[in-house]
Amino acid sequence: MILKLLLDLPEHQSYVRITRLLGRTLLEYLGVIVKDIDDIEMVVGELCANVVRHSRSSDRRFQMTLEYYADRISIVVEDRGTGFSFKDVPEVGTRRADFEGADRIGGFGLELVRLLSDHLEFHRTDPQGTTVRAEKRLNYITQAAADEAVHLSKSGGGGQVVMGASCGRDV
């Protein structure tokens, strides 16, 4: 592993953008191709937005972890909400309640995540909540960038950054 970024965040919409931008910035620094960066930014944003929209955890927080390897990235989003069952998820493109009680057409997020990821899995988080892991293979702008990623992973990479935030101020 090259780097592990762990964010502990409030379940608030303003933090979704931060998760997307941090992931994007790290991938740009590593020299990953733009298409992969765009796909990963979308996956991160959709998974985090789902937590904000649906989790309803008692502590109103979630964790998002990005694990960078030379050949792939692993995105893990974990909440302590009520959890869900796929049989209870409304069909894609159907009406559902929005944040403030209004109706919206939705259900596209998880399907988009599935299409953009190379691997996607959901697990029940004990004693409650959901953990989602999405993985995507990485392609690099140049062979030199790919070689540098391999070098970083072999030379002790494994750096870890842990960040937390509170919802007491504007973002």
Tokens of 28: 């740009």
Residue 26 is assigned to a structural domain of this protein: yes
Taking the CB of residue 77, how many other CB atoms lie within 10 A of it? 24
- Rg over alpha carbons for the chain, rounded to the nearest Å, is 17
Predicted pLDDT at 155 = 83
The domain containing residue 134 runs over which residues? 3-164
Number of domains present in the structure of the chain? 1
Rounded Cα distance between 31 and 19, Å, is: 19
Residue 77 is assigned to a structural domain of this protein: yes
Residue 171 is assigned to a structural domain of this protein: no
Residue 43 is assigned to a structural domain of this protein: yes
Rounded Cα distance between 27 and 155, Å, is: 19
The domain that holds 30 is classified in CATH as 3.30.565.10
Residue 88 is assigned to a structural domain of this protein: yes
- Residue-wise pLDDT tens digits, 148-170: 999 988 886 656 556 565 555 44
Residue 169 is assigned to a structural domain of this protein: no
Rounded Cα distance between 105 and 154, Å, is: 46
Is pLDDT at 28 greater than 70 in this prediction?
A: yes
